C-alpha cells in the first residue's frame, strides 16, 4: 500500500535545499508539484510535476539523486514530467520525452539517443544515430515502431519513422557508452539472433512493380540491350535533379563478384519518398536493360523496377559458436584487408563472444579493437603473429631461419611483456621483419600464451621435413597450444608437388596427436586475412602490386562460420573436430582476462604546484596589464578559465607550454601559436600565445586604465583609432581579438587542451632537445603515424591489376575495389613536430610499444601506436618547425628592429593587402593588384584574388580572410558568391568557427545551442531541422543558414589571428626595409631560386615567368616553386633592387646578404652545391684565402664535379686553375668585384 500526497507546501522549501546548478533550480521553481506517491515502506518516492519544458533524462536523474540525498532514509526517487500545455508538444520537447520514455525500457540506448539528431519534415521523423549497429538494434527491437506510436499519442498522427546513422558522431558518444553493461548488450544481440525473422527491412517497391524471375550475376552483364535482373547491396547512392527538372536516381550495385551503375528516373512522389529510405548498404533487386551511358562512357543498367530485399548476409547458426584465434587486420602491412569495424559488426551479429587480433609483427590495431570490442560487447584477445629466430645463430643474419609464432595476451602483465617484445623486435632485432630471439620470448613470457602458428611455424615445418620425434616434441613443448588450419590454406604444398592432399591432412592429424601426447590443446584457426569469400580479389590485387607471382592463387583466408570449420575438419572425426573448432579455442579464450591496451584517462606529467604557478603567473600578468582591481570583464573571464584549467588537471600542460615558449624567446626566436590556444586568456597571460582573446580594448601601459568595446562594432583591437589615456595622457595600447574560450576547451571546459606551437624551423631541433632535457629522453617520444593506402594509391593498384590481366572493369567495380584497399597499412612514420610526453612515474610501455619511424634506425624513436589513438592518454606537444619565426629572426638581425615592436595596425602596411601604392610600383609592373607577393598566408594567387574581391582595410578583415582561405567550402561557392552578389559583406559572412557561435548568441540563441551549432557546422555535419528552426526563430538570415549547410571544415579564429600577426609583421618589413625583406624571403626559399635566370636581368625574368605561366597545370612541382620565387624577383626589380653575382670569398653559405651593390646570393644558390659543401668552403676560406681552383677543391673538400659547376656559374674566374699557373703568371689577378686583393705572393 502506498500513500498519495497532493500538495505544494514543501516543494519550494525542498528545491532551495537541493545542491543543484542555478539553471536546474530555476526550472524546478517553474514546475508545479502534481503528486507524490510514497511506498508503504517509505523506500520508494514517485514525484509527478507538470512543466512547460521537458528536461533530458540525465538531468532528471541528477535531480532524483539530490532529492534522495536530502532525506535520512535515502529512498529511491523517481521524478515524472508532465507537460502542462494541452496543445501538442513542440518536436524538441517531445523528443526529450521520447528519450526519457525509451531509456526506461532500453537503458543502453540512452547515451546514443541523447546524442542523436532528429528532424521532422513532410511527415517523416528522421533519427540519425552515431553508430550503424545501434541503428540496427533500434530496428531489430522495433523501437522505431514504438517511437511512431508514442508520437502519434502526442498529436503527431500519421508520421513515418526512419532510423539512420552517421559514423562521424560515434567519436563523441563512444566514451559515454563504455559504461553500458556488456551483459545488457549481449542480451539484445541474443534476442536478435534468436528471432532472425523479425528484420526491420522487408520487401518494398521503390520503382515499378514486384520483380520476378531468375537473378543473374553482375559479372555476366555483357550484351547491350539485353534484359537484366540483378541484386546486391548499394555502394554509392545519389538522387539529383536534371537540367530539365526531372529527378534522377543513380547508384552503384554490387554482388559477390562485380558491380555496376544503375540509373532511373523517379516519376512519382511515392517513388521519391521510397527512394529516400534507401542508402549505402541497402540490398536491392533491380530489373531493367543494359545500355551504354554516354555520360559515364560505359554500360550501365537502366532500371524499370527496383525493390528493397532482405540482406543476403552470411550467418553462423551454430548453437555453440567458434572463436577465431588467428586473424590479421589492415594493420598487417600490405597483406590483409580485414576492416575492424566490419569484423566486429559481423561477429556481433553472428553471436561470437570473442576474437583474437594477431597482425604480423605489429599491435597497431589494438586501440581501435578495444573501442569496438566495448561497443559491440565482444571480448578482444590481444595478440600478434611474431617472427621467431633461434639463439644459436645471429638473429639478424639473412640465413637465420625465421618462424611464425602466435603470441596472445593473458592479462595486463602479459600485455606489457608483449609491448616489450614489440619494442625490442623493432629497435634491436629488425632485419626485413621485426625478429624475436627465442630467449627474448622466454624472458618476457609471463602473462603470454604461445601458439605454434601456421605452416610457417617451426612445428609444422618440423613435421613437413620429417624431423625426429624427439626434436618434434621438443619444439612443440615450447608452445601453450598447437594450431591446425584448413587444407586450402596450405594447398600450395600440393600445387607445388611437395605433398598430396592426404599427406597434407596427415600433418594436421600429426599435430592433433602431438598435442594429445604433450597435453597441449589443439585449435583450428583460419589465419584470416580478409572477411568474406569474395574479398579475396582485394588480396590478389595487394600481392600483385608487390610482384608476387602467385598472387592470383589465393588461399581461402576468409572468416569462416562454425559450420564451415566443422565441415573442414570432419576427417578428424566428429568429436575431435568439435574439440579443435569449438572447445579448444574456447578454453584458450577462458584463460584470457579483460585487458585494456591503453589507459582510459589522460596521464599528464606531474609538476608540483603547477596549478598555483599558472594561477599566480596569470593573475600577476593580468594585474600588470589591467591594474588592481581587475576590470570585471577580465576578472570573470580569468576566473572561469582558471577554474576549468586547474580543476581538470590541465595546469601542467599550460606550464610546460609556457616554459618551452620562454626558452625559445630567450634564445631569440619568436613563437607562433596554432589551433585554438589563442582562445585562452590564461594562455595569453602566461606568454604561450600573443593572441589576446578579450574583446577589442584600449589599455594604458602607465596607469593601467582600460576601455573595452563590447558592442561588436570593432573586430580587432588593432583596428581602434589612436587614442591617449584620459587619465595620464599616455598613448594607449590596443589589443583584443574577441574570441570565446569555449572554442578551446569546449563548452564545459573539460576538453583536453591541444597546444600547438610554431617554432623557427632552424630552432625546432633545439626545442625538441630541450623538451627531452625537461622530461628525460626515455619519457619523450615522437608521435608515431601510420601511412595507409590512400584512394589514389588504391586506384593505381586496381588499375595496374586490371590492365596486366586484360580485365575491363566498370567504374563501379573499380570504386568498390578501391574502397576495399583504402586503409591497409603501408608503413609507419612520425608527426612533423608532435612529441608524446610520458609522466616520470610511468613507463612508455604502459601506453604503447616504441619503434623507429618506417623501421629505419635513427636517433628518433616513435610511438608504435598512431598518435591519434593515444592523444587523450598522453600529453602531446605539437612543436612544429615553421618558416615565419625564422624569417622574423633574420629580419631582426639585418635591421635591428624587434618584430614584436611592429605596430600591427600600421596604415601603410595595411595598404599592401588592397593595393600596391606602398611599394611604389604599378600592378602592371608586378603582375598583381595587391602587394602581398612573398607574404605568408597572403602571397598565393588564390588568396591574392580573395584580397582583390574583398579589399580589406582592417586587421580583423585580414583575420577573416585567413579563416576563409583555410576552410573547406567556406570561400569558394559560398562566401565569395555572397560578397560578389551583394548579399553579404566580408564582416558578415562566416569566416571562422567562432563567428558562428558569437553571431548566434548575438541573435538571441542560447549559448549552449550556439556552441552545438558551431561544432556541427565546423565538422561538416551541417544543421539538423531543429537547428534550422531555432535559427529562423531568432531571425538568422536564410543566406547564413544556407552557408552553414555548405561548410565542410572551418579554421579557428585564434589560429587565423596568430597567422595574420606573423604575416603583418613581415609585411611591415617589406614596406619599410625592402632589402632585408627580399634577402630573408629568398634565403628561406633558396631551393626554388635559380641564380642563372635572375642574373640575366628583369626582362629575361619576365619572359621566363610568361613561359612558366603558359604551362599551367602541366608545370612540374619544381617549376611551380620557381614561378612563385620569380614573381617576387620581378617585384624586387620593379622596386629598383638588384642581385650581385655570387662571390666564392664573401657569399654566405645559405643566406642572401645585403651589400651596397645589391643582394649577394649564398653559395647554395649554385645548382648542385649543397649545404655541406658550402659550409666546407666557408670553413676553408676562414683559414686563408684560396690561391687557386685546385686549392679550393682540396681544402674545401669539393669534388671535381662541383668545381665544374662553380666554373660554369662564373664564380672562379679570378682563380687560376692551380698554384703553378699562378706562380708564373705575368699579371696579378683581381680577386673579385669587391676588389679584395689576394694575400699570397706572386712574381711579375
Residue at grid coordinates 532510423: 163
Q: How many residues does the chain have?
A: 1244
Whether the Cβ atoms of residue 521 and residue 481 lie closer than 8 Å to each other:
yes
The kind and range of the H/E element at 654 are helix 651-666
Collect all residues with Cβ–Cβ distance below 8 Å to 103 and sequence separation of at least 6.
Answer: 57, 109, 110, 113
The H helix count followed by the E strand count for the chain is 49, 33
Mean pLDDT (whole number) for 576-589: 98
Q: What is the 3-state secondary structure (H, E, C) of 1074-1134?
A: HHHHHHHHHHHCHHHCCHHHHCCCHHHHHHHHHHHHHHHHHCCHHHHHHHHHHHHHHHHHH
Q: Kindly state the cell numbers that stand for 937.
A: 598566408
CA–chain centroid gap for 893, Å, is 39
> Which pairing describes strands 433-437 and 430-431: parallel, antiparallel, or unpaired?
antiparallel
Quick: pLDDT tens for 1096-1149.
999 999 999 999 999 988 889 899 999 999 999 999 999 999 999 999 999 999
Q: What is the pLDDT of residues 1003-1013, one digit of tens each?
A: 999 888 898 89
Contact 886, 762 (CB under 8 A): yes
Q: Of residues 1216 and 15, which shows the higher confidence score?
A: 1216
The answer to whether residues 310 and 201 touch, using CB atoms and an 8 Å cutoff, is yes
pLDDT in tens, 285-315: 999 999 999 888 999 999 999 999 988 889 9
∠391-393-397 over CA atoms, to 5°?
Answer: 120
Q: What is the pTM of this model?
A: 0.78
Average pLDDT over residues 112-130: 80
Confidence at 367, pLDDT banded by 50, 70, 90? very high
Residues with Cβ within 8 Å of 106's Cβ and at least 6 positions away in sequence, in order, are 141, 143
Classify residue 1038 as exposed, middle or buried by CB count within 10 Å of its CB (0-12, 13-18, 19+).
Answer: exposed
* Range with the poorest average pLDDT among 182-186, 644-648, 693-697: 182-186
CA 628 and chain centroid, separation: 44
- What is the chain's mean pLDDT, rounded? 88
pLDDT value at 908 more than 50: yes
pLDDT at 174 over 70: no
Alpha helices in 592-650 (DSSP H): 610-626, 632-647
Per-position DSSP letters for 653-703, written without gaps between them: HHHHHHHHHHHHHHTT---EEETTGGG-HHHHHTTS-S---SPSEEE-TTT
**Grid cell in block for residue 1039:** 543566406
Q: Are 148 and 161 in contact (CB under 8 A)?
A: yes
Query: Distance between CA atoms of 1031 and 121, rounded to whole angstroms?
Result: 16
**pLDDT tens digits, 961-985:** 999 999 889 998 899 999 999 999 9
Spatial distance between the Cα atoms of 244 and 292, rounded to a whole number of angstroms: 21
Residue given cell 621467431 in the structure block: 388
Is CATH 3.40.50.880 what the domain over 385-555+563-591 is classified as, yes or no? no
pLDDT tens digits along 1063-1078 = 999 999 999 999 999 9
Question: Per mean pLDDT, which range of 121-135, 222-236, 484-498 is the poorest?
Answer: 121-135
Average pLDDT, stretch 1050-1054?
91
DSSP output for 84-138: --SSPPPHHHHHHHHHHHHHHH-GGGHHHHHH-EEEEETTEEEEEES-HHHHHHH
Supply the CATH classification number for the domain 204-298.
2.40.50.140
Q: Give residue 1240's pLDDT.
A: 33
**pLDDT at residue 1217 above 70?**
yes
Q: Where are the domains of the chain?
A: 1-87, 204-298, 385-555+563-591, 615-647+676-753, 758-883, 884-1089, 1141-1147+1176-1244
Look up residue 633 and give its three cell numbers: 570583464
**CATH code, 1-87:** 3.30.300
In this prediction, residue 146 carries a pLDDT of: 72
The 8-class DSSP code of residue 934 comes to T
Q: Which of 88-97, 196-205, 792-801, 944-953 has the lowest mean pLDDT?
A: 196-205
Q: What angle do CA 616, 622, 624 make, to 5 degrees?
A: 100
How high is the pLDDT of residue 186?
45
* 138: CB partners within 8 A, 6+ apart: 109, 127, 129, 144, 163
Per-residue model confidence as pLDDT tens digits over 47-71:
877 776 656 555 776 787 788 777 7
Residue 859 confidence (pLDDT) above 80? yes
Per-residue model confidence (pLDDT) at position 141: 66
Q: Looking up cell 582561405, which residue turns up?
A: 965
pLDDT at 1059 over 60: yes
User: Which of 661-665, 751-755, 887-891 has the weakest average pLDDT?
Assistant: 751-755
**C-alpha angle 841-846-850 in degrees, rounded to nearest 5:** 110
For CA atoms 784, 788, 792, 793, the dihedral sign is positive
What average pLDDT does range 330-352 have in this prediction? 96
Fold exhibited by the domain 884-1089: DNA polymerase; domain 1 (1.10.150)
pLDDT band of residue 190 (cuts 50, 70, 90) is very low
Bridge partners of 4, per DSSP, are 37
Give the CA count within 13 Å in the CB-facing half-sphere of 1080: 25
Beta carbons of 423 and 864 less than 8 angstroms apart? yes
What phi and psi, each to the nearest 5 degrees, are found at residue 483? -110, 145
3-state helix, strand, coil in the chain (%, to 5): 45, 15, 40
Contact 772, 1081 (CB under 8 A): no
580 DSSP assignment: I
Q: How many CB atoms lie within 10 A of CB 765?
A: 11
Statement: 758-883 belongs to CATH 3.90.79.10: no
Mean pLDDT of 462-476: 96
Instruction: Give the mean pLDDT of 170-197.
Output: 41
CA-CA distances (angstroms) from residue 1106 to 916, 931, 932, 943, 1122? Answer: 21, 20, 20, 21, 12
Amino acid at each position: 500500500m502506498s500513500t498519495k500526497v497532493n500538495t505544494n507546501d514543501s516543494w519550494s522549501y525542498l528545491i532551495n535545499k537541493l545542491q543543484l546548478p542555478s539553471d536546474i533550480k530555476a526550472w524546478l521553481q517553474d514546475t508545479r508539484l502534481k503528486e507524490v506517491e510514497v511506498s508503504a515502506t517509505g523506500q520508494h518516492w514517485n514525484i509527478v510535476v507538470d512543466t512547460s519544458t521537458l528536461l533530458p533524462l540525465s538531468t532528471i536523474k541528477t535531480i532524483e539523486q539530490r532529492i534522495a540525498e536530502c532525506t535520512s532514509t535515502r529512498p529511491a526517487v523517481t521524478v515524472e514530467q508532465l507537460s502542462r500545455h494541452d496543445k501538442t508538444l513542440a518536436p524538441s520537447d517531445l523528443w526529450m520525452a521520447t528519450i526519457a520514455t525509451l531509456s526506461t525500457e532500453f537503458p543502453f540506448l540512452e547515451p546514443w539517443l541523447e546524442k542523436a539528431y532528429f528532424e521532422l519534415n513532410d511527415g517523416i521523423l528522421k533519427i540519425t544515430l552515431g553508430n550503424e549497429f545501434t541503428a540496427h538494434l533500434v530496428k531489430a527491437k522495433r523501437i522505431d515502431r514504438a517511437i511512431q506510436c508514442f508520437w502519434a499519442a502526442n498529436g503527431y498522427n500519421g508520421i513515418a519513422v526512419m532510423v539512420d546513422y552517421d559514423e562521424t558522431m560515434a567519436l563523441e558518444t563512444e566514451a559515454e557508452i563504455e559504461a553500458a553493461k556488456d551483459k545488457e548488450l549481449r542480451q539484445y544481440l541474443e534476442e536478435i539472433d534468436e528471432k532472425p525473422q523479425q528484420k526491420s527491412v522487408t520487401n518494398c517497391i521503390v520503382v515499378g512493380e514486384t520483380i520476378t524471375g531468375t537473378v543473374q550475376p553482375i559479372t555476366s552483364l555483357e550484351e547491350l540491350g539485353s534484359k537484366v535482373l540483378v541484386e546486391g547491396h548499394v555502394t554509392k547512392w545519389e538522387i539529383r535533379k536534371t537540367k530539365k527538372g526531372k529527378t534522377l536516381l543513380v547508384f552503384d550495385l554490387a554482388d559477390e563478384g562485380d558491380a555496376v551503375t544503375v540509373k532511373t528516373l523517379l516519376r512519382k512522389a511515392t517513388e521519391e519518398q521510397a527512394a529516400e529510405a534507401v542508402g549505402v548498404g541497402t540490398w536491392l533487386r533491380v530489373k531493367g536493360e543494359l545500355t551504354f551511358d554516354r555520360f559515364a562512357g560505359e554500360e550501365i543498367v537502366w532500371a524499370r523496377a527496383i525493390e528493397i530485399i532482405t540482406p543476403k548476409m552470411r550467418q553462423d547458426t551454430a548453437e555453440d559458436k567458434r572463436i577465431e584465434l588467428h586473424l590479421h587486420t589492415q594493420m598487417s602491412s600490405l597483406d590483409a584487408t580485414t576492416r575492424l569495424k566490419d569484423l566486429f559488426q559481423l561477429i556481433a551479429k553472428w553471436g561470437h563472444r570473442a576474437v583474437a587480433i594477431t597482425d604480423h609483427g605489429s599491435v597497431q590495431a589494438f586501440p581501435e579493437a578495444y573501442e569496438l570490442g566495448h561497443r559491440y560487447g565482444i571480448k578482444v584477445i590481444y595478440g600478434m603473429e611474431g617472427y621467431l629466430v633461434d639463439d644459436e645463430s645471429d638473429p639478424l643474419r639473412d640465413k637465420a631461419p625465421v618462424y611464425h609464432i602466435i603470441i596472445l595476451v593473458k592479462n595486463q602483465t602479459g600485455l606489457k611483456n608483449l609491448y616489450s617484445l614489440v619494442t625490442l623486435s623493432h629497435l634491436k632485432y629488425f632485419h626485413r621483419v621485426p625478429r624475436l630471439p627465442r630467449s627474448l620470448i622466454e624472458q618476457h613470457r609471463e602473462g603470454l600464451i604461445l601458439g605454434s602458428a601456421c605452416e610457417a611455424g617451426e612445428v609444422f615445418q618440423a613435421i613437413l621435413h620429417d624431423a625426429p620425434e624427439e626434436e618434434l616434441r621438443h619444439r612443440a613443448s615450447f608452445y601453450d597450444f598447437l594450431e591446425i588450419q584448413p587444407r586450402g590454406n596450405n594447398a600450395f604444398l600440393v600445387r607445388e608437388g611437395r605433398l598430396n592432399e592426404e599427406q597434407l591432412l596427415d600433418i594436421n592429424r600429426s599435430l592433433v596427436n602431438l598435442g594429445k601426447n604433450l597435453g597441449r590443446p589443439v585449435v583450428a584457426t583460419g589465419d584470416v586475412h580478409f572477411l568474406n569469400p569474395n574479398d579475396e580479389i582485394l588480396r590478389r590485387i595487394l600481392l600483385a602490386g608487390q610482384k608476387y607471382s602467385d598472387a592470383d592463387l589465393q588461399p581461402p583466408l576468409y572468416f569462416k562460420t562454425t559450420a564451415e570449420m566443422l565441415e573442414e575438419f570432419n576427417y578428424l572425426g566428429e568429436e575431435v573436430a568439435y574439440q579443435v573448432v569449438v572447445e579448444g579455442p574456447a578454453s584458450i579464450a577462458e584463460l584470457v582476462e579483460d585487458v585494456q591496451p591503453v589507459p582510459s584517462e589522460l596521464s599528464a606529467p606531474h609538476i608540483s604546484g603547477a596549478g598555483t604557478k599558472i594561477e599566480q603567473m596569470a593573475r600577476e600578468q593580468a594585474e600588470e596589464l589591467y591594474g588592481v582591481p581587475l576590470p570585471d570583464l577580465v576578472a570573470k573571464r580569468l576566473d572561469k578559465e582558471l577554474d576549468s584549467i586547474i580543476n581538470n588537471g590541465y595546469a601542467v600542460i599550460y606550464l610546460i607550454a609556457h616554459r618551452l615558449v620562454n626558452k625559445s624567446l630567450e634564445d631569440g626566436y619568436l613563437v607562433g601559436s596554432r589551433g585554438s590556444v589563442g582562445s585562452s586568456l590564461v594562455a595569453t597571460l602566461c606568454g604561450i600565445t600573443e593572441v589576446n582573446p578579450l574583446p577589442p580594448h584600449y589599455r594604458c601601459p602607465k596607469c593601467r586604465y582600460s576601455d573595452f568595446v563590447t558592442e561588436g562594432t570593432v573586430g580587432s583591437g588593432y583596428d581602434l583609432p589612436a587614442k591617449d589615456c584620459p587619465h595620464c595622457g599616455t598613448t594607449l595600447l590596443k589589443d583584443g581579438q574577441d574570441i570565446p574560450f569555449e572554442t578551446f576547451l569546449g563548452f564545459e571546459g573539460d576538453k583536453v587542451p591541444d597546444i600547438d606551437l610554431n617554432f623557427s624551423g632552424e630552432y625546432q631541433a633545439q626545442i625538441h632537445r630541450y623538451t627531452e632535457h625537461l622530461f628525460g629522453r626515455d619519457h619523450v617520444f615522437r608521435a608515431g603515424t601510420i601511412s595507409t593506402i590512400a584512394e589514389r594509391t588504391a586506384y593505381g593498384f586496381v588499375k595496374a591489376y586490371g590492365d596486366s590481366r586484360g580485365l575491363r572493369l566498370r567504374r563501379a567495380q573499380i570504386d568498390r575495389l578501391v574502397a576495399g584497399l583504402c586503409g591497409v597499412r603501408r608503413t609507419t612514420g612520425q608527426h612533423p613536430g608532435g612529441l608524446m610526453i610520458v609522466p616520470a612515474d610511468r613507463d612508455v610501455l604502459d601506453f604503447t610499444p616504441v619503434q623507429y619511424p618506417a623501421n629505419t634506425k635513427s636517433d628518433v624513436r616513435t610511438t608504435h601506436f598512431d598518435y591519434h589513438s593515444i592523444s587523450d592518454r598522453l600529453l602531446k606537444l605539437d612543436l612544429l618547425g615553421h618558416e615565419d619565426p625564422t624569417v622574423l629572426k633574420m629580419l631582426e638581425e639585418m635591421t635591428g628592429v624587434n618584430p614584436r615592436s611592429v605596430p600591427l595596425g600600421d596604415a601603410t602596411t595595411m595598404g599592401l593587402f588592397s593595393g600596391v601604392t606602398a611599394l611604389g610600383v604599378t600592378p602592371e609592373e608586378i603582375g598583381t593588384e595587391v602587394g602581398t607577393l612573398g607574404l605568408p598566408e597572403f602571397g598565393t594567387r588564390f588568396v591574392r584574388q580573395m584580397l582583390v574581391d574583398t579589399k580589406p582595410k582592417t586587421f580583423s578583415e585580414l583575420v577573416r580572410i585567413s579563416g576563409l582561405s583555410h576552410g573547406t567550402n567556406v570561400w569558394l561557392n559560398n562566401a565569395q558568391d555572397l560578397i560578389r552578389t551583394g548579399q553579404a559583406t566580408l564582416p558578415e559572412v562566416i569566416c571562422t568557427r567562432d563567428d558562428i557561435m558569437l553571431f548566434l548568441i548575438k541573435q538571441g540563441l542560447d549559448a549552449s545551442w550556439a556552441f552545438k551549432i558551431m561544432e556541427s557546422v565546423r565538422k561538416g555535419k551541417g544543421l539538423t531541422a531543429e537547428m534550422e528552426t531555432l535559427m529562423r526563430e531568432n531571425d538568422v538570415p536564410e543566406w547564413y543558414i544556407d552557408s552553414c549547410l555548405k561548410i565542410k571544415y572551418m579554421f579557428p579564429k585564434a589560429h587565423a589571428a596568430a597567422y595574420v600577426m606573423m604575416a603583418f609583421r613581415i609585411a611591415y618589413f617589406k614596406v619599410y626595409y625592402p632589402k632585408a625583406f627580399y634577402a630573408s624571403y629568398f634565403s628561406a626559399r633558396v631551393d626554388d631560386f635559380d641564380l642563372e635566370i635572375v642574373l640575366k636581368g628583369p626582362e629575361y625574368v619576365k619572359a621566363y615567368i610568361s613561359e612558366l605561366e603558359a604551362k599551367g597545370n602541366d608545370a612540374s612541382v619544381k617549376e611551380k616553386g620557381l614561378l612563385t620565387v620569380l614573381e617576387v624577383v620581378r617585384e624586387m626589380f620593379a622596386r629598383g633592387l638588384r642581385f650581385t653575382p655570387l662571390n666564392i670569398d664573401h657569399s654566405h653559405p645559405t643566406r642572401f646578404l645585403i651589400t651596397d651593390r645589391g643582394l649577394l646570393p649564398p653559395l647554395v644558390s649554385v645548382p648542385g652545391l649543397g649545404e655541406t659543401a658550402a659550409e666546407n668552403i666557408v670553413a676553408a676560406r676562414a683559414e686563408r684565402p684560396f690561391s687557386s681552383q685546385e686549392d679550393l677543391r682540396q681544402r674545401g673538400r669539393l669534388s671535381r664535379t662541383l668545381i665544374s659547376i662553380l666554373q660554369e656559374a662564373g664564380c672562379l674566374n679570378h682563380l687560376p686553375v692551380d698554384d703553378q699557373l699562378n706562380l708564373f703568371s705575368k699579371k696579378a689577378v683581381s680577386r673579385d668585384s669587391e676588389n679584395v686583393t689576394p694575400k699570397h705572393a706572386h712574381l711579375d
